[in-house]
Amino acid sequence: MFADIRKKSSSILVSLMFAAIIVTFVISFGPGDDAGCSEKKNYAASVNGEIITASEFRFSYSNLFDYYQRVYQDAFNNETAKQMKLAQKALDGLVGEVLMAQKAEELGFKVSDEEVRKEITTTPYFQNGGKFDRDTYNKMVQFTLNTTVSSYEHKVRLQLLSRKLRSFLFNSVGVSDTEMKEAFVLARESYDINVMALSEAVLKKEVKDKIAAEVSSEEIKKLLETDLAKVKLKFEDNVSKYSKEGGDGKTTFENSKEAVAKDMIVKTKIEEKTASDSKKLFEELKKDMNLAPEKIAKMLPDWNIEKKEALNITKNTRFVQGVGFSPKFVQKLFEKKEGMMDDVFVTDENNYVVAWVKEYKPADMTKFDAEKEMFGNSIRTSKISAVLQNYVDDLKSKANISVNAEFLKLYEDSGNNGE
């Protein structure tokens, strides 16, 4: 799950960092932030002198927490939030928003009083019966947002300034026909392949048992003499597997080292057999890719292997049927147009893969015009995210930013969503 979260974090933060005005998602922050003069005391950070209040931070954190929880449901909780430093991510978003507003003002962007008024009066949470209600507005700002009207309207002005600079940056991002064609080909060029893979998992149990039974005490002794440190490391990585009770009731390396060494020797022998037999399979299939299953079974009787089909593999494919998760395999595959892959491919999980092309399917360029807008939008979104993140990172490197570390640590340590 963390891999997925890390992958999405950047785009999520960009989206949240430049979300619509705070009250669009109004929640009750509860007591704790006093209005007006005490804002500077109860702050999360200061950006070139501009205060980010505790209430603003609580909102941003809670909104980000809720987003991840909706996406990952029960898999995301306070502990997960703590591990992924969600508090820092929320603060980074707020800091970026302030920096964008300050830069917009420096570049000469303006926000009129009328624009501020329009933003506020069209905010649904300040309306009653479909119309702006002054009393509702005053109470919401004072008791829900825990600030003053003047302070809140200052924040609205910053949001609008930031929005104008974002729009300016976004409008400068273009996508060429060449980029769209490259993306189209990347997504639509594909392979159907046949795969046969050898690994310890498909080696017959009786064969593994025989290999283990043939490991001699001399081999174990030699490994312990020549590579004791490696054996000990293996033990430490698998303590629960080799757990035995010594006189003091604790798991010890000394009374498990022979078993660890034996397992290491067995593993090496299995890997050697896997490499040898997969090479043999490769050479035979190279002569005849239609080799009958019964002939393969007769040639390699120690294995429970079967031919699998992996269909519609594109350059973006990460998991391949019969191979597993292996972007490197996909990269190698796209160096071929037909026939066998150049050699046995060994994955990071020690699967020895023999594969050959069943059908290569080039991208159908007659469909490009119908789909190019979709690819253009996708490319533009990615480019905008990159431009925005780089722009904010540059502003941060030049800014005077002060963080209320004690306040932030409360969230980092607990991972709590503020409820």
Phi-psi region of 26 (alpha: psi -120 to 50; beta: other; left: phi over 0): beta
Q: How many CB atoms lie within 10 A of CB 338?
A: 10
Amino acid making up residue 133: D
pLDDT in tens, 231-264: 888 888 888 787 765 445 566 888 888 889 899 9
Q: What fold characterizes domain 2-174+380-414?
A: Triger factor/SurA peptide-binding fold (1.10.4030)
pLDDT of residue 32: 36
Q: What is the pLDDT of residue 354?
A: 95
User: How far is residue 324 CA from its own chain's centroid?
Assistant: 18
The per-residue pLDDT for 415 is: 64
N- to C-terminal Cα separation, the chain: 24
Q: How far apart are CA 152 and CA 230, in angstroms?
A: 62
Are the beta carbons of 54 and 44 closer than 8 angstroms? yes
Q: List, in sequence order, every residue forming a beta bridge with 155; answer none if it has no partner.
A: none
Give the residue from 375, 357, 356, 352 showing the smallest Cα distance to 365.
Answer: 375
User: What are the φ/ψ torsions at residue 329 (nearest 5 degrees)?
Assistant: -65, -45
Instruction: State the pLDDT at residue 91.
Output: 92
Q: In terms of C-beta distances under 8 Å and separation of at least 24 residues, what long-range contacts does 165-171 make, across chains too? A: 165/100, 165/101, 165/103, 165/104, 165/107, 165/109, 166/18, 166/100, 166/388, 168/109, 169/384, 169/387, 169/388, 169/391, 170/384
Reported pTM: 0.58
CATH 1.10.4030 placement within the chain? 2-174+380-414
In which residue ranges of the chain is pLDDT below 50?
1-40, 246-247, 418-419
Tell me how far apart the alpha carbons of residues 55 and 74 are, in angstroms, rounded to a whole number: 27
